[in-house]
Chain A
Amino acid sequence: MHIDPLEKKWLYVALGMVVLFLGSIFLSLALGIKPPSNVETIDSARLHLSEEFAEDNLGVHIQPDGSIKVIMVAGRYGFFPRHITIPADTPITFRWASIDVLHGVHMPMTNMSTMVVPGYVSEVTTTFPKPGDYPMLCNEYCGLGHDYMWSKVTVVAKQTWEREHASKGGES
């Protein structure tokens, strides 16, 4: 077998590149950036009977430890509740279930992104540094109304939120 010296050098470069990429994956892992993966099942046909995803439990919840949990349902064609208000600079855990088919949720320009698969609960924790109005869009084809599937999220400065919204549990 002949491996040209130049070829050998290039192989080292290629391996070096791969090590660099892998390093960045492991670095983000060390920083706590990992994909949403909780492998938790739920009966999508009976969400209304589940405690967590029943209609009157949806929305923003302040946990006893001060962290924030948002419980939402994806269904053709919207994310419910249709409008939520949450604080900036605060870790927020979203929990999602689908009432019908596959959906994807994404808030553009943020890493609030997950698939919502019927039969499973999706969970994402993230922090929004920038206050503003964000659309929440469905990014997986879910039927002919797929492009009409969107809701709204208002991110407000932390102090404003604590003053005006915390008492109302985040209702707008």
Chain B
Amino acid sequence: MNDHQSRRLALWNWTVAFAAFLFASFLGFYQVVERSGLFDFLESPKGYFASVSTHGVLMAYVLTTFFIMGFGYLTATTSLKRPLWQPGLAWAGFFVSLIGTVLAAIPLLTGKASVLYTFYPPIQAHALFYIGAALLVVGSWVWCAIMVVMAVQWHRDNPGRTLPLAMYATVANALLWLWTSAGVALEVVFQLIPWALGWNDTLDPGLARTLFAWTLHPIVYFWLIPAYIALYCFVPREAGGYLFSEEMAKFAFLGLLIFSLPIGFHHLYVDPEQGAGWKLWHGVGTFLVAVPTLVTGFTVLASMEIAGRLNGGKGLFGWIGTLPWRNPMVLAAILALLMLILGGFGGIVNASYALNTMIHNTAWVPGHFHLIFAGTTVILYFAIAYHLWPKITGRKLVSNTLALIQLWTWFVGMTLLSTPWHVLGLLGQPRRISGVTYNSLLTLAWQPYELFMIMGGAVLLGSAVLFGVILWRTWKNPEPETDTGIAYAEPIHPPEGLPAWVENIKTWNLVILVLMLISFGWPIAQFFFLKTYESLPWGY
């Protein structure tokens, strides 16, 4: 077996990812309770903001990055059917990221980095926080390099063949992440770290926000692509059918890679430091990325329909009933698509700047991203874990029924949590508040929604704990798993006649470079021409 190393890497990367997730879920529940304003004795801005900062960093950066690295190593070795390139390097990357996580966790947990996961200056955190975050990213770059090298070597050894879809998407994601993380890396290395260490007295918060916006949009696709890989490469097969179109899938991944990068200013629609023309340009691009997502929705539904009909489903909707709902992968896909559709509507509101002013930075925003990120994306992470954890530990999944219960409760909990959250936003509640102190009638209208959110949070916490229990008991299960091979869905037609640029990494990079120069060139350069005034550090 030539994928022994990648299985161990996946096991340990995922252990870190899921441990972070479990801990952060407890924080999430504490937050919904604390912020509701219904329990006076709990009120503590200090505790709350330390908690949200830790929860945000663990969920958005630690869970995702380690999960993606582990999944990528598995995908590379099993889809390319070749051993991991430089496993020693992969372990080094793992440890660099792990050390970074621990270094950042120390100030986070001791309240010395309550700057939230977006760490907008000029509020300053302890320098260890920025250094730890930087190391987490540097470790993940090692993963990116290994993915790219393996794809290039495979191309060299298999002239004329096209990359297996799962690997195609993984390399696209590795490149996406290299380009994406460059923005925040520039901010952290040239602005935040020198400033936190006292080498520089001041920095420009406008430039910092611009660099962060570069990262903030495509990063969500970095998180989402593994979920899409499951939808394209596992779900059709698990449902008992075939992938509708591999070609379209490749176009979708390529579209996500190229068009999600140059559009980050939709996060700055109401910022003063960028001009309206640039915002319009990024706004147009934002709607273009909807196309690959709409294509994905179509291909996945079409693949499921094929499976449902092969299973004997008849009529317009009969195939839905004949899908194997008791297969965790299929169930998660259905629930994920439901949340994606709802979240997609919300996303259109966020992306339209005339509507955006109504909900910008209100509770609507965390409502939206919990639905689509903690919902759609993470539920597919769970499904991938149920699918692959038995294969990497060699132990049989302890209970399929428990896994189904866990997925359903996650869906119900997320609906209960995020629906009232959206409403609260429309009712004007700001995001990132530790309590509702406003002396205004408005806050009375918020209370019933806060109660629903607490119920949602409780269901979610239960579901998260169940997830942990299932994985733990599977790991310790005496019964071995017999089917440890990892198989990917077959397309109806083998892909053929794809234009060469679809597989050409150099061409992709060139196109991205040009688009990034157009979208970010002047907006960043302007700070060196404007007469700007920098900020000293502030505590919180």
Contact = CB atoms under 8 A, between A and B. Distances in A.
A55 interface: no
B438 interface: yes
A113 B348 contact: no
Given A34-B276, A117-B209, A144-B49, A18 B291 contact: yes
Contacts of B434: 144, 146-147
Contacts of B114: 144
Nearest to A123: B272
Range of interface residues on chain A?
A: 35 or more
Contacts of B493: 2
B535 A21 contact: no
Contacts of B294: 10, 14, 17
Interface in A22-65: 22, 24-25, 28-29, 33-45
B435 interface: yes
Contact of B279 (A14, A37, A142): A37
Interface in B275-295: 275-276, 279-280, 283-284, 287-288, 290-291, 294-295
A143 B539 contact: yes
A101 B206 contact: no
Interface in B233-289: 244-245, 247-248, 268-276, 279-280, 283-284, 287-288
Interface residues of B, number: 81
A142 B433 CA distance: 10
A135 B442 contact: yes
In terms of DSSP, what is the predominant structure of the interface of chain B?
A: loop
A4 B299 CA distance: 11
A119 B438 contact: no
Contacts, number: 221
Contacts of A22: 284, 287
B295 A147 contact: no
B279 A35 contact: yes
A154 interface: no
B360 A117 contact: no
A150 interface: yes
Q: Which of A15, A100, A115, A119 has the most CB of B within 10 A?
A: A119
Contacts of B432: 139-141, 146
A104 B360 contact: yes
B260 to A, nearest CB: 15
Nearest to B123: A101
Interface string B294-317: 110011001000000000000000
Contacts of A101: 122-123, 535, 538
A65 B386 CA distance: 68
25 contacts: A4-B245, A7-B245, A7-B248, A10-B294, A21-B290, A21-B348, A28-B354, A29-B280, A33-B354, A35-B279, A39-B526, A41-B532, A104-B430, A106-B428, A115-B271, A124-B270, A137-B438, A139-B360, A139-B362, A141-B123, A143-B123, A143-B539, A144-B114, A147-B436, A147-B437
Given A6-B302, A117-B273, A144-B46, 11 more contacts: A21-B351, A25-B283, A35-B270, A39-B526, A42-B533, A117-B205, A119-B205, A120-B206, A120-B273, A142-B540, A144-B49
Interface of B: 45-46, 49, 114-116, 120-123, 204-206, 209, 244-245, 247-248, 268-276, 279-280, 283-284, 287-288, 290-291, 294-295, 298-299, 302, 348, 351-354, 356-358, 360-362, 427-438, 440, 442, 493, 495-498, 526, 530-536, 538-540
